[in-house]
Amino acid sequence: MPELPEVETIVRQLQNGHRDAPTLAGMAVSDVTLHWPRHIAAPSPAGFRRRLRGRTIEAVSRRGKYLVFRLDQGFLLIHLKMSGDLLVQRSAEPRDRAERTVLRLAGGWELRFNDTRKFGKVYLLDDPGPILSALGPEPLDRCFTPTVLRERLGARRRILKPLLMDQTFLAGLGNIYADEALHRARLHPRRMSHSLTPAEGSALWRGIRASLRSGLRHNGASIDWVFRGGGFQNHFRVYGRSGKPCRTCGTPIERIVLGQRSTHFCPSCQPEAPR
């Protein structure tokens, strides 16, 4: 699933333009094609098409893993889920078999939402607050301090790795960046959140932000057909490196399953029992 760096990379491309594609800011939606109406979470597919026609995209931003399109009236939210991708292409360009939702724009351009597994969701709302306010803090925001993280960790009694992936606890982290952050912080993924010392909480804060910033520098990770053009996969410390030597100490990376998700860690750098 695309995480904060991958979604932010897409947002920047849509907002600023990318290669031969123009910026979406200022473009009007002339029509909507729904090849998979179940993409539309709100309103009804018919209402979605009717209300979106003629609207102008004023800006594109991100909250957690949601892409937020501010319109001249209302907001369009897109969650890419497991396999979603957004492309700005000419209407004459060949179409992908996974194309599900298409917004026709000015000048012969289209915004195409491709989604092989069909899990993505699209919302057209007057107020996105009820959805976005349920998310936890943004980990790269100035207001997200070590103290904030330590207090949130101490208020919960949960296994650390699944907690970091809980979007109501912290917005934007998923499997990749949780593994990478925990390795930087030298914390075992099975540690209980309330057991961290103040120093460990601060180390985790630094690890989260360093991992996300590294991902952003490399335009996210490209590990399958979902996300294109990123290079962070070439710099993973632990994720997907089971059996390979730890880049810090040389110990083979181990893999376990937590919360039904693959989890990678170094047993030497990240001992389960605090030293």
Active centre residues (catalytic) = 2-3, 65, 261
Give the 3-state secondary structure of residue 82. coil
Count of CB atoms situated within 10 Å of the CB of 19: 7
Six token digits for residue 188? 């075992």
Give the C-alpha separation, 207 to 189, whole Å: 13
Give the closest residue to 78 by CA, choosing from 92, 58, 88, 64. Answer: 64
Q: Are strands 121-125 and 40-42 parallel, antiparallel or unpaired?
A: parallel
Give the 3-state secondary structure of residue 271. coil
- Alpha-carbon separation of residue 47 from 50, 55, 78, 256 (angstroms): 5, 13, 17, 45
Residue 96 backbone zone (phi > 0: left; psi -120 to 50: alpha; other: beta)? beta
What angle (nearest 5°) sits at the alpha carbon of residue 195, between those of residues 258 and 63?
60
Q: Is the Cβ–Cβ distance between 138 and 212 less than 8 Å?
A: no
Q: Phi, psi at residue 21, to the nearest 5°? A: -100, 140
Residues contacting residue 129 through CB under 8 Å, at least 6 positions apart: none
201-233 exposure pattern, b = at least 16 Cβ within 10 A, e = fewer:
bbbbbebbbebbebbbebbbbbeeebbeebebb
